[in-house]
Amino acid sequence: MRIIQITDCHLLADPAAELKGICTRERLVRVLDALREELPQAELLIVTGDLTHDERAETLQALRELLADWLPRVRVLPGNHDDRGFMRQVFGDIILPAGERNVFAEFLGNWRLIGLDTQVPGAVGGEVGLAQLDWLERQLEVSPRPTALFLHHPPVLVGSPWLDRIGLADAPALWQLLVRFPQVRVVCTGHIHQEMAVHRGGALVLSTPSTAVQFRPESESLEVDDVPPGYRILELEDDGSVRTRVMRVVAAGGPPAG
Ligand SMILES: [Fe+2]
């Protein structure tokens, strides 16, 4: 079963607007064109937050239009830059509301897929929160099937002090819960605009490059990296094993490079 993760699109209402010298709309279109060409049959396309940069409804509507041919195979989670209410207005058909949070939880093949909402409105860092930890515990109790977890903020230190200061505040509480549910095989995140893969307990913790601006790994403060945007392919096998790789999209219409 093949799933695609994209993250940190940081779209702006003005299609030509730039963020750190990069047109985020053009970069996303480039990534989606590559996906259409390479992986049109993927089961799901999961967008793990920072859908928009300006938190506007019209920007989310533009995103929905860009993803039109993937609907209803799209799942969206909020990052620190998204408005939950507008997300429900624009993507209400694919969002599961849990209290104020926008999440998802479903079976797909032999797997269970769960998306968490780690937004703290007005803050850059995130947290799962006690109520959502309870919700997650109930979701994990539903089935021992292999499970993939998706959330915006990585629940591990990433080696860049400035990013580790704006990470997931209650990561220890999340791990305290996950250690009881070894079926969680993979945890997929965004937020740090770079590729990462680390093992934590029995889980593989991943982050995926932004579809737009990249951050340089292991930097003390924000440094833009000049690597191309990308996406992640997750191959979730029936036996619970995971194969994954990041694909970089080098130019409009050009071939992606691994
Ligand atoms: Fe971001």
Q: In this predicted model, what pLDDT tens digit does every residue of 107-150 receive, in sequence order?
A: 999 999 999 999 999 999 999 999 999 999 999 999 999 999 99
What is the whole-number distance in angstroms between the Cα of residue 227 and the centre of ligand 1? 16
**Alpha-carbon gap, residue 26 to 16, rounded angstroms:** 8
If you compute the radius of gyration of the chain from its CA atoms, what whole number of angstroms results? 17
Q: Is the pTM of this model over 0.85?
A: yes
What's the pLDDT band for 252 if we cut at 50, 70, 90?
Answer: low
What is the whole-number distance in angstroms between the Cα of residue 80 and the centre of ligand 1? 7
- For residues 11 and 28, the answer to whether their CB atoms sit within 8 Å is yes
Region at 252 (left for phi over 0; alpha for psi -120 to 50; beta for the rest): beta
What is the whole-number distance in angstroms between the Cα of residue 180 and the centre of ligand 1? 30
What is the whole-number distance in angstroms between the Cα of residue 126 and the centre of ligand 1? 12
pLDDT exceeds cutoff 60 at 165: yes
pLDDT exceeds cutoff 60 at 258: no
3-state helix, strand, coil in the chain (%, to 5): 20, 30, 45
Reported as type and span, the H/E element at residue 34 is helix 24-38
| Strands ordered across the beta sheet of 147-150 | 96-98, 101-108, 111-115, 147-150, 184-189, 203-207, 196-200
Q: At what angle do helices 171-178 and 130-142 cross, to 10 degrees?
A: 20
pLDDT digits (tens, 9 = 90+) for 62-74: 999 999 999 999 9
What's the pLDDT band for 251 if we cut at 50, 70, 90?
Answer: confident
For residue 108, with 0-12 CB atoms within 10 Å meaning exposed, 13-18 middle and 19 or more buried, which class applies?
middle
Q: Are strands 256-257 and 74-77 parallel, antiparallel or unpaired?
A: unpaired
What is the whole-number distance in angstroms between the Cα of residue 240 and the centre of ligand 1? 29
What is the whole-number distance in angstroms between the Cα of residue 109 and the centre of ligand 1? 30
pLDDT exceeds cutoff 90 at 256: no
pLDDT exceeds cutoff 50 at 253: no
pLDDT digits (tens, 9 = 90+) for 198-208: 999 999 999 99
pLDDT exceeds cutoff 80 at 187: yes
Each domain of the chain, given as residue ranges in start order, spans 2-257
> Taking the C-alpha atoms of 170, 181, 234 and 2 in order, what is their torsion angle to the nearest 10 degrees?
-130
Top CATH class of 2-257 equals alpha beta
pLDDT exceeds cutoff 90 at 255: no
What is the whole-number distance in angstroms between the Cα of residue 19 and the centre of ligand 1? 11
What is the whole-number distance in angstroms between the Cα of residue 196 and the centre of ligand 1? 15
For residue 73, with 0-12 CB atoms within 10 Å meaning exposed, 13-18 middle and 19 or more buried, which class applies?
middle
What's the pLDDT band for 22 if we cut at 50, 70, 90?
Answer: very high
Give percent of the chain above pLDDT 70: 97
Report the pLDDT averaged over residues 8-16: 97
pLDDT digits (tens, 9 = 90+) for 48-60: 999 999 999 999 9
What is the whole-number distance in angstroms between the Cα of residue 224 and the centre of ligand 1? 12
In degrees, to the nearest 5, what angle opens at C-alpha 126 toward C-alphas 174 and 194?
Answer: 95
| Residues surrounding ion ligand 1 at CB below 5 Å | 8, 50
What length is written for the chain?
Answer: 258
The chain-wide mean pLDDT, for the chain, equals: 95
